Amino acid sequence: MELIHFYALKIDEGLTDRAFKKICYITSMNSLKTIQKHIQFLSGFQPVCYDCGCSSCVCYTGPYEILTKCPKCASDHYKTDGKTPCSYLEYLPIIPRLRAMVANSSYARKMQYCSKHIRNPRKITNIFNGTHCLLLWETCVKIGDEELPEWFFSDP
């Protein structure tokens, strides 16, 4: 459990990997990689890595995947060896994260906030009282040219 709290400190405080590695060394804690592997095992989440350029302007995926230079700043996609990306982004896919939140009764209740929120059109108490959300409350969901029989924020 101590490892989880320790790693949460890194995330919550935005510690760089370099700073975290120094703390691991000073406290004789496991290495960053070992802690990350342990967290991945406990959570069941597997991060997906995407290449980024030296300036991190773009993530080399989709239409950018085959590019060797950044379309924004012209920095290189790869280091001098031509194979290793200058940097990368580790992404936790949204679907497993949402499944985990729904499986947790506490988070599942929190995620119902929007549907349980009592709207007051004369008072803005949060984003759900904003003009855009109020418009969506009265709009059917449209995907492409097809209008679905469900309203935004409704329970299908």
Given a contact cutoff of 8 angstroms between Cβ atoms, the answer to whether 56 and 87 are in contact is yes
Compute the average pLDDT of residues 82-101: 90
What pLDDT, on a 0 to 100 scale, did the predictor assign at position 54? 84
Domain-wise residue ranges, the chain: 117-151
Q: What is the mean pLDDT of the chain?
A: 87
Q: Is the pTM of this model over 0.75?
A: no
The pLDDT tens digits of the residues spanning 128-140 come to 778 888 888 889 9
What pLDDT, on a 0 to 100 scale, did the predictor assign at position 24? 86
What pLDDT, on a 0 to 100 scale, did the predictor assign at position 156? 59
The pLDDT tens digits of the residues spanning 75-84 come to 999 999 989 9
Given a contact cutoff of 8 angstroms between Cβ atoms, the answer to whether 75 and 86 are in contact is yes
What pLDDT, on a 0 to 100 scale, did the predictor assign at position 64? 93
What pLDDT, on a 0 to 100 scale, did the predictor assign at position 147? 92
The pLDDT tens digits of the residues spanning 14-48 come to 999 899 889 888 888 888 888 888 888 888 888 89
With tokens 């759900």, the residue in question is 128
